[in-house]
Amino acid sequence: MAIRVVRENGDEILRKKSRIVEKVDDKIIELIEDMLDTMHKYNGVGLAAPQVGVLKRVVVIDLYDGNEPLKLVNPIIVKTKGKQEVEEGCLSFPNQYAKMIRPEEVIAEALNEKGEKIKIKAKGLLAQALCHEIEHLDGILFVDNMIPGTLEYVEPQKNN
């Protein structure tokens, strides 16, 4: 597959609302695979299609926990429970992190890469990632909901 360019803060596409995917076809599957390759190249936990310049409601998430990555089409959160304070970053905001309040648990519904309806019950980091990536689909960025005054830049590690 292909590594796509990650759109960064200031790119107007990140503020646009993504369109519903009418059919999970070969083009959507190619997009999903490219998004996974791109996310893995940059060591991301999640990636939404607008971050690679495509205004479609497609999200990928990989917690690197031995489970298969999630490949979600038209995901929505249908229920939330509890609160957790978390530190969050975003591939569209390289080396920047902020504290957020996110639900501790969520239930999401989506289509998988086969076009089948699935339900995901998530806690902790997965709940956080689902919220973050689904917000991208509506043009909402993590800095919009961060705890004020917590955004910080972390100098990237240099490889010797």
How confident is the model over 45-96, as pLDDT tens digits? 999 999 999 999 999 999 999 999 999 999 999 999 999 999 999 999 999 9
Phi–psi pair at 124, nearest 5 degrees = 55, -130
pLDDT tens digits, residue range 110-141?
999 999 999 999 999 999 999 999 999 999 99
Tokens of 150: 């917590």
Instruction: Give the single-character DSSP code of 101.
Output: E
Q: CATH number for the 12-153 domain, one of 3.20.20.80, 3.40.50.2000, 3.90.45.10, 1.10.1370.30?
A: 3.90.45.10
Note the pTM of the prediction, 2 decimals: 0.95
Instruction: Give the single-character DSSP code of 149.
Output: T
Averaged pLDDT for residues 21-45: 97
Tokens of 144: 């919009």
Flag whether pLDDT at 157 surpasses 90. no
Flag whether pLDDT at 146 surpasses 60. yes
Looking at residue 60, what is its pLDDT? 98
Give the residue numbers annotated as catalytic, written as ranges. Answer: 133
Looking at residue 160, what is its pLDDT? 54
Flag whether pLDDT at 159 surpasses 70. no
Characterize the bridge pairing of strands 117-123 and 93-102.
unpaired
**59 near 47, Cβ under 8 Å?**
yes
